[in-house]
Amino acid sequence: MEPAARYLLAADLLLFTHVLFVVFVIAGLILVLAGWALKWSWVRNPWFRFAHLAAIGFVVVQSWLGQICPLTIWEMQLRAKAGDSTYTGSFIAHWLGELLYYQAPAWVFALAYTCFGLLVLATWFWVRPRSF
Task: Answer whether residue 37 is part of any domain.
Answer: yes
| This prediction's pTM | 0.85
Residue 109 confidence (pLDDT): 85
Residue 92 falls inside a structural domain: yes
Q: Name the DSSP letter for residue 82.
A: T
pLDDT digits 0-9 by tens, 64-90? 998 888 998 898 899 889 987 655 445
In this predicted structure, what is the pLDDT of residue 85? 63
pLDDT of 72: 86
DSSP state of 35: H
Q: Is residue 117 part of a domain?
A: yes
Question: Half-sphere exposure of residue 43, counting CA atoms within 13 Å on the CB side?
Answer: 21
For the residues 52-63, what does the mean pLDDT come to?
96
Q: Which of 31, 16, 24 is closest to 55 using CA atoms?
A: 24
Question: What digits encode the pLDDT tens for the residues 15-55?
Answer: 899 999 999 999 999 999 999 999 999 999 999 999 999 99
Letter for the amino acid at 131?
A: S
Whether 131 is covered by a domain: the verdict is no
Residue 111's φ and ψ, nearest 5 degrees, are -65, -45
In a domain, 79, yes or no: yes
Containing domain of residue 95, as a range?
Answer: 3-126
* Cβ-contact 129, 46 below 8 angstroms: yes
Question: For residue range 2-12, what is the model confidence (pLDDT) as tens digits?
Answer: 988 999 999 99
The reply to whether 132 falls in a domain is: no
